[in-house]
Amino acid sequence: MNINTKNPDSVLLPPTPPFLIGCALLVWGWQCDFILYAIAMAVLLESAQFIHWRTPITDKEFNHISDLSSVIFMVVVVYVFATRSYYGIFTILALLPFLFFLLLLAQTWSVQGNIKPGALFISMRKLNPDGPGFNNQGIDLSFPYLMVCIISASAGNQQENLFFIFVIALVTWALWALRPRRTGKYLWLSLLVIAIATGYAGQLGLHRLQQLSEATFLQWFEQFMWRSRDPNRTTTAIGSLGKLKLSDRIMVRVDTHGKKLSNPLYLREASYNNYGYGVWTNFQHTLRLIDPLPQGRHWIINDQITGDERISISFYMDDQKAIIPVPMGLSSISKVNAIEIEHSPYGSLSMELNPGWVKYDAIFDYDHIDDAPPGKEELELPPVYQKELAELADQLGLEMQSPAQRVETVKRFFADNFVYSLTQTERYPRGKYLSKFIFETRKGHCEYFATATTLLLRAAQIPTRYVVGYAIDEYSPLEGQYIGRARHVHSWVLAYVDNHWQMIDTTPSIWAPLEAMERSFIEPLVDLWSWISYKLSTWDADDMDSKTSSIYYWLLVPVLLYYLWRMFIKDRVQNIKRRAEEKKITMRLAGTDSAFYQLLPALEARYVPRKPGETLTAWLTMIEKNIPGTELRNLLALHYRYRFDPVSLSKAEKQTLEHQVKKQLAILG
Amino acid sequence: MIRKLLFHNFLILYRASQWIRRHFTHAGILILGGLVTSAIFGLNIRQTLSYQIFTLLFSILLLSCISVLIFRGKFRFKRVLPEYGTAGQKLEYGILIENLSPKKFNNLVLLDELATDLPSFEHFLNAKDIQDKRRNFFDRIVGYPRLVSLIRKTRGGLIQPGEIETIAGKDKIQQRITLIPVRRGYLRFATTAIGKCDPFGLFRRFKKYNHKDSLLVLPRLYEFPPINLTGRRKYQHGGVNLASSIGDSEEFISLRDYRPGDPMRAIHWRSYAKQGTPVVKEYQDEYFSRLGLVLDTFAGSYPEIVFEEAVSVAASIAVSSLQQDSLLDLMFINDQVYRFTAGRGLAGVNNMLEILACVESAPEENINELETLLLHHTNDTSGFICILLTWDEKRQGMIEQLRSAGIPMMVYVISMNADSDDFRNMTLPEHSEHFQVLQAGDVEHSLQNKHRRKQ
């Protein structure tokens, strides 16, 4: 009967066979266009096969290296996400072998050749290392790193078939190294061939599946998850119960180039002309493609307007094509690398560009709104409100007034009789929400006011459109520019009076402070984060001062220096200090300040010098024949007590020792 | 409500992680990790080539699983367990495996398993873990590591799987298995499973056999300095019968296996050289003094770790005191009053450790019974060594009463915060050297500190 004592799990993954990691790095470098770096990295790792020099790296130093890798990883993640939005995930994937290379390099060249789990998982660092368990052994990172290299290589875009062959080669090599010892070679090989064939067939199946799913799922996803403004349709919160919760997220930034805003700046996203059941839509809507000027980066939107006001707007684009907010009376857009800009006759502007923060200059004339002239749609009223609104127009006597007077009367009507509120508590019959607002509750938010004004003016035969966008009046001292949050989304009215469009906002001006009261207490922190990510993402913007952006890169230097200091110097500095202190304590404890030592030179000068290593007692025994009295012997006893007795001498005894030594010195002359 | 939901999710997570660890080898877990990662990045096959990695790894894992679907072996097992284990000390035992089928098997894994009772929600809520203070804020609040540690503790030990490279048909082999007991008391072995590994070495399929056994795990022992109480020998009722001889000489009894905590001078070097494992000389004391080892079991509201440490301290003192010249009475209260006497030809250390391995906590209200018990034995006891779980008024009163009866005492208080101000401000008994606060979870360190201070 055999006795077997082997426990397989006492060893975690073994190290990779020679040159496997190097080959994986080369495949990754070839795929992701980092071939030169990959060669250098492979050489650094694989040269350890030939050079047998290793350096001792403590667990603490491994922790620091791991922390440094994590910090670099976080910085890269933040930077890449800020500049490339969620598309950046593939960039991060491609960069992974760089990010974890330091850790593997340290492991390869360390004496230990593996890393304690605590280096990788902070939560395990403080746990009792002596606690019972089998998990205290080190982890070899080379196989996990191999997997990282293979998966990262997939983010590159070289030849598909060649990549698959390389992946098969690397995986086969790794599996061969990991196979159990008692496995038959032919069985292993035949299974692998079947696995490769199945894998290849699976790939073809996935291609087909993707085609099918794109046709159905993605269409559905885009339809329901679209966040950007739809120029043809907007759903209001009219009729919704409860409190309207609006986010503090900064959506738009406006740089007025030092000019202070006396009134809110209205940035329009879209205008609508048809209302029904809480939804505004446009009947006719075609977007007109605008060609840039020959010098590029400049688009004339309306050559009839010669605006002299210029602002710079930054806006976060969720997708490649989105409706951007622009001021009313827009003349032109410039300083943006847009792929395509389209303009709607109702004033919306659609821009195609890489997602993320975009910055553009807008030149405009606020008082010159040159939208398409009104048609019959701009006078249409929903049937449910026709009668009521006509009666109200009669009551207000609008029919007898001039168009300009009608506008004024309507404005006054809302200002005198209505209050602003974000809360709606009562449920009304469908299609009657607005009646309740106009005739009963007389409180609501901007969508109620703008919709009611639009419809009431139509009842008074004034063509109107409903406009949505941002009302900007919050100045951020941190950023030195105006900001528009999600809660600054506003709606107002365009009325066609005396052959030109006029902007009317009947929402009480209290709306902005009221909504600001709802803001979160962590808003300043969120703003700071938003600003940092905005700054990071606009580093490479063309119009940024290159000197300024390079300053930000330099900011990383102290962070890296700090980490280098923590990794390599801090402990040693502290150790030196501690050692010096310990030394001091030892010296003091050793009693080297004993007064008895003062006697030695004088005694040695007069009698025989003490031999190296000779004890004081032995030496004194030898010389005391020449010395009268037993005082020296008593002094030595006191000295020994001072030197070695844990209780040491009392204050009086110490004084006696010092006094007697002085006396003896005087005798010795 | 959320905590309860989290708790149930944790149990699912725990079971899933156990299943994965059991069925996948380390290489298998690596491939599985690669599979999941490539699946995430390969969702859109136009964006990356991860889907190629995904399909390859998926088919490899699939074949791994399929190739071990059929496992027709028949086996019989027998555990060869040692008499005792010690909490926290690695021990080895054997499992005799008999292949009943005529077929030869390669790449087998033997998994011996202890019975695992998953904790209830209430148990989880009330459980306190000494490692918690070393965990980060998130882990402490969420509590998953605490749950894992709780389950591990209930189970009582960690067993490493054993690898059997090959077993011939109708053959018998013995597999050595390593076990680390994490708590004292009985460990209940439930099943033995034998698993077959696939040719790639990624996945295992198990056959489980009910195979029940139990092993007594003695409390963890610390190296305790000798306790010198200034008590004198006392008249013992029927004392002569209690001692194998009378006088102050030491009588050698036997040799026995080394247990952690035994002093170096007791090692019998010749036997050590012959056997290869340490063997110690056991002496019977002839000194007829009688010490009372009092264990405070009233652990009602105190963390479990404090009580466990108290038991360990009691066991360590029992080991060190019985090697000195005394009879030792272990006294504690549970559902009734217990007093066990060891030494001088009566029970030995092992019996006392067995009792301590199984001692359980008692409700706080019974503390007066302990006081009565101690006062009852003041006449025949030379001194008391008291191990207390706290230093409150009741316990202070009890100690004061014994002290006023003129009995020498040594008091150990086990506390979670031995360095806190609570103990600095408390009234200590007159002889501060006979009073020591030991830090729960770090008793050795506390003892060393005391020793250093003494020096």
Instruction: Summarize pLDDT for A309-365 with one digit per residue, the tens.
Output: 889 999 888 777 888 999 988 888 888 888 888 888 888 888 888 777 888 999 888
Nearest Cβ partner for B109 among A8, A12, A143? A8
Predicted confidence at residue B226, as pLDDT, reads 73
pLDDT exceeds 60 at position A241: no
From A177-191, A597-611, B323-337, B420-434, the region with the lowest mean pLDDT: B420-434
pLDDT exceeds 50 at position B122: yes
Q: Report d(CA A94, CA A89) in Å as an integer.
A: 9
Distance from the A71 Cα atom to the nearest Cα atom in chain B, whole angstroms = 18
pTM for the model: 0.57
> With left for phi above 0 and alpha for psi between -120 and 50, is residue B345 left, alpha or beta?
left
Q: Are the beta carbons of A195 and B160 separated by less than 8 Å?
A: no
Q: Are the beta carbons of B67 and A191 separated by less than 8 Å?
A: yes
Going by C-alpha positions, the residue among A148, A364, A398 that lies closest to residue A268 is: A364
The token pair that represents B310 in the structure block: 């108290």
Higher pLDDT pick, A542 / A647: A647
pLDDT exceeds 70 at position A163: yes
Predicted confidence at residue A572, as pLDDT, reads 57
From A267-276, B16-25, B115-124, B240-249, the region with the lowest mean pLDDT: B240-249
SS3 A102: helix
Q: How far apart are the first and last CA of chain A?
A: 89
Question: What does the mean pLDDT of chain A come to?
Answer: 80
Distance from the A590 Cα atom to the nearest Cα atom in chain B, whole angstroms = 15
Predicted confidence at residue B20, as pLDDT, reads 92
Q: Are the beta carbons of B199 and A179 separated by less than 8 Å?
A: yes
Contact A30, A99 (CB under 8 A): no
Distance from the A55 Cα atom to the nearest Cα atom in chain B, whole angstroms = 28
* Cβ-Cβ contacts under 8 Å, B47 against chain A: 90
* Cβ-Cβ contacts under 8 Å, A207 against chain B: 45
Nearest Cβ partner for A198 among B53, B59, B88? B59
pLDDT exceeds 50 at position B98: yes
Closest chain A residue to the Cα of B161, Cα to Cα: A7
Nearest Cβ partner for B135 among A31, A123, A194? A123
The stretch A292-310 carries a mean pLDDT of: 81
| Alpha helix ranges (H) inside A183-333 | 185-213, 219-225
Query: For an interface test with A, which of B43, B44, B54, B55 has the most A Cβ atoms less than 10 Å from its Cβ?
Result: B55
Instruction: Summarize pLDDT for B307-323 with one digit per residue, the tens.
Output: 888 899 898 888 877 65
Going by C-alpha positions, the residue among B164, B158, B157 that lies closest to residue B195 is: B164
Predicted confidence at residue A625, as pLDDT, reads 74
- DSSP state, B244? S
The stretch A291-314 carries a mean pLDDT of: 83
Nearest Cβ partner for A7 among B27, B107, B161? B161
Predicted confidence at residue A86, as pLDDT, reads 67
In this prediction, residue A9 has a pLDDT band, given cuts at 50, 70 and 90, of: very low
pLDDT exceeds 50 at position B249: no
Q: What ipTM was reported for this prediction?
A: 0.74
* Cβ-Cβ contacts under 8 Å, B455 against chain A: 646
Instruction: Summarize pLDDT for A403-419 with one digit per residue, the tens.
Output: 888 999 999 998 888 88
**DSSP strand pairing (B290-295 vs B383-388):** parallel
* Cβ-Cβ contacts under 8 Å, A150 against chain B: 34, 53
Q: Which residues pair with B196 in a beta bridge?
A: B108, B205
Question: What does the mean pLDDT of chain B come to?
Answer: 81
Q: Which residues pair with B162 in a beta bridge?
A: B110
Predicted confidence at residue B276, as pLDDT, reads 87
Distance from the B100 Cα atom to the nearest Cα atom in chain A, whole angstroms = 15
Q: Are the beta carbons of B182 and A12 separated by less than 8 Å?
A: no
Predicted confidence at residue A25, as pLDDT, reads 95
Angle subtended at Cα A397 by Cα A392 and Cα A403, rounded to the nearest 5 degrees: 105
Instruction: Summarize pLDDT for A86-131 with one digit per residue, the tens.
Output: 667 888 889 999 999 999 999 999 988 888 887 887 767 766 555 5
Amino acid letter, residue A206:
L
pLDDT exceeds 50 at position A6: no
Q: Report d(CA B139, CA B129) in Å as an integer.
A: 12
Q: Does B80 touch chain A (CB under 8 A)?
A: no
Predicted confidence at residue B64, as pLDDT, reads 93
Q: Are the beta carbons of B41 and A12 separated by less than 8 Å?
A: no
Contact A453, A442 (CB under 8 A): no
* Cβ-Cβ contacts under 8 Å, B38 against chain A: 151, 154
pLDDT exceeds 80 at position A510: no
Instruction: Summarize pLDDT for B358-367 with one digit per residue, the tens.
Output: 888 877 777 7
Contact B17, A130 (CB under 8 A): no
Predicted confidence at residue B241, as pLDDT, reads 43
Amino acid letter, residue A61:
E
Instruction: Summarize pLDDT for B384-439 with one digit per residue, the tens.
Output: 888 888 888 888 888 888 888 778 888 888 887 766 656 655 555 566 667 788 88
**DSSP strand pairing (A274-276 vs A279-281):** antiparallel
SS3 A367: coil
The percentage of residues in chain A with a pLDDT greater than 90, rounded to a whole number, is 17
Nearest Cβ partner for B41 among A151, A180, A198? A151
Q: Report d(CA B374, CA B414) in Å as an integer.
A: 20
Higher pLDDT pick, B293 / A545: B293
Predicted confidence at residue A51, as pLDDT, reads 87
SS3 A587: helix
Predicted confidence at residue A104, as pLDDT, reads 93
Q: How far apart are the first and last CA of chain B?
A: 55
pLDDT exceeds 50 at position A544: no
| Alpha helix ranges (H) inside B256-303 | 269-275
Distance from the B180 Cα atom to the nearest Cα atom in chain A, whole angstroms = 7
In this prediction, residue A627 has a pLDDT band, given cuts at 50, 70 and 90, of: confident
Beta strands in B145-264, from DSSP E residues, in sequence order = 157-159, 162-167, 172-181, 185-197, 204-218, 251-257
Tell me which residue has tokens 């001021």: A327
pLDDT exceeds 70 at position B452: no
Closest chain B residue to the Cα of A87, Cα to Cα: B47
Closest chain A residue to the Cα of B145, Cα to Cα: A123
Amino acid letter, residue B152:
R
The percentage of residues in chain B with a pLDDT greater than 70, rounded to a whole number, is 86
Q: Does B455 touch chain A (CB under 8 A)?
A: yes
Q: Report d(CA A95, CA A152) in Å as an integer.
A: 7
Contact B97, B175 (CB under 8 A): yes
Predicted confidence at residue A218, as pLDDT, reads 45
- DSSP state, A259? P
Q: Are the beta carbons of B27 and A198 separated by less than 8 Å?
A: no
The stretch A7-32 carries a mean pLDDT of: 81
Instruction: Summarize pLDDT for A434-444 with one digit per residue, the tens.
Output: 888 888 888 88
Distance from the B407 Cα atom to the nearest Cα atom in chain A, whole angstroms = 30
Q: Report d(CA B171, CA B194) in Å as an integer.
A: 15
Q: Are the beta carbons of A123 and B166 separated by less than 8 Å?
A: no
B198: CB partners within 8 A, 6+ apart: B63, B64, B65, B67, B68, B204
Nearest Cβ partner for A154 among B52, B107, B177? B52
The stretch B244-253 carries a mean pLDDT of: 49
Instruction: Summarize pLDDT for A484-494 with one digit per residue, the tens.
Output: 888 888 899 99
Q: Which run of H or of E encompasses B79?
A: strand B75-80
Q: Which of A614-628, A632-646, B439-453 is predicted most confidently?
A: A632-646
A14: CB partners within 8 A, 6+ apart: A140, A143, A177, A178
Q: Does B161 touch chain A (CB under 8 A)?
A: yes
